[in-house]
Structure 1
Amino acid sequence: MPRKNALALILACCLSASPVAGKEHRLNLHPQWEFVADTVMGGVSAGEISDVTLDGREATRLAGEVSLDNNGGFIQMAFDLQNDDQTFDASGWAGIEIDVLGNGEEYEIRLRTDQLSRPWQSYRTAFIAAKVWTTIRLPFSDFTPNKTDVPFDPKRLRRIGILAYGREYQADVAVSAIRLYR
């Protein structure tokens, strides 16, 4: 294997991402999803993430009840792009693409960079999780700053999250793939 190809393979493995076969314009991410809820700040929303097979696709599912009690209002599944809390340079990519199945409700995808110091700061955009598997493209230009004046810098991307947020409802959203696209 030529040295250049070996280095590319090592980098792809370290970044927990791999190119989609035959499609260099997409980079599959392989997240280690974590569950987070408003209970970290006194809320009472409840939920879980689970690995499931839905309509023949392996996916990670976020399900639960979002409650506004005690100033709460979210459940989330999120992952860091690097294992060591380092940043990922996504500046060569146009945005995030997800394969998603849900209950027809609105969810948010939130991005965090190393420039954000408070847990409530992010860059976010909304999407509808249809009741059939759907591929959704979310350009970085659609993400708006939330509780920060710092502009989004894709060179400093650190974390991606899928949230059920802001109102009382039953959340049920599954993600079978998440990737960057050009």
Structure 2
Amino acid sequence: MMELDPNWEYVADSVMGGVSRGQAGRAEVAGRRAMRLTGQVSTDNGGGFIQMAFDLAQDARGFTGIELDICGNGACYDLRLRTTELTRAWQSFRTGFTAPSGWTTIKVPFDTLEAYRTDATFAASQLRRVGVVAVGREFSVDVAVSGVRLF
């Protein structure tokens, strides 16, 4: 197992003309230090997402999955991974998860990820970006991550 120390950044659909609003920042959430994504997803003007993501500095070769300690508002979110093979912003390897009101660990084996708008096959050695995304419908966002590990 490898504990990661992500340098999270906030990204919104405004890069494509959308009007979703939010923020990502360090916060104390249910007794833990965490990175917290909050805001409002809007599908107006062709938008529909906000996210917090980080570039992976470590080589994930030899690992079979990723796990995150999460807490939130009970809404559904996406975990999206990108590899060096993906060249379009909309391509990813993904899975959905629910962020319950208490801290829980989600464990995602790489072989369970769904390839989205790509014929590429996921390769851990090419993993370069990890994102937690609020997407696809109008809703209030509140999701926090206190730990990220490769296993």
Fold shared by both chains (TM-score > 0.5)? yes
* 2:64–2:124 Cα contact (<8 Å) kept: no
* 2:38–2:142 Cα contact (<8 Å) kept: yes
Q: What is aligned with 1:74?
A: 49
Q: What is aligned with 1:163?
A: 133
Residue 71 of structure 1 deviates from its aligned partner by 1.1
> Which residues in structure 2 correspond to 1:3-152 (within 5 Å)?
26-82=1-57, 88-152=58-122
Q: What is aligned with 1:7?
A: none
Aligned length: 151
Q: TM-score if structure 1 supplies the norm length?
A: 0.81
Residue 89 of structure 1 deviates from its aligned partner by 3.4
Aligned equivalents of 2:69, 2:41: Cα separation in 1: 23
Aligned partner of 2:146: which letter?
Answer: S
Aligned equivalents of 2:30, 2:51: Cα separation in 1: 23
Aligned equivalents of 1:80, 1:149: Cα separation in 2: 22
| Unpaired runs of at least 5, structure 1 | 1-25, 83-87
Aligned equivalents of 2:13, 2:112: Cα separation in 1: 25
Aligned partner of 1:33: which letter?
Answer: W
**Which one scores higher on RCO, CA 8 angstroms, separation ≥ 6?**
2
Structure of higher CA gyration radius: 1
* 2:48–2:137 Cα contact (<8 Å) kept: yes
Residue 91 of structure 1 deviates from its aligned partner by 3.2
The two structures, once aligned, show a CA RMSD in angstroms of 0.9
Residue 135 of structure 1 deviates from its aligned partner by 0.8
Q: Percent identity?
A: 54
Aligned equivalents of 2:123, 2:67: Cα separation in 1: 18
SS in structure 1 at match of 2:15? helix
Aligned equivalents of 2:111, 2:65: Cα separation in 1: 8
Q: Runs in 1 of length 4+ with deviation above 3 angstroms?
A: none
Q: Which is helix-richer, 1 or 2?
A: 1
Residue 55 of structure 1 deviates from its aligned partner by 2.1
Aligned partner of 1:80: which letter?
Answer: D
* 2:9–2:53 Cα contact (<8 Å) kept: yes
Q: Deviations over 1:51-110 (max 9, x none)?
A: 00112210000000001011111000000012xxxxx53231121111000000100010
Q: Which is strand-richer, 1 or 2?
A: 2
Aligned equivalents of 2:19, 2:116: Cα separation in 1: 22
| Unpaired runs of at least 5, structure 2 | none
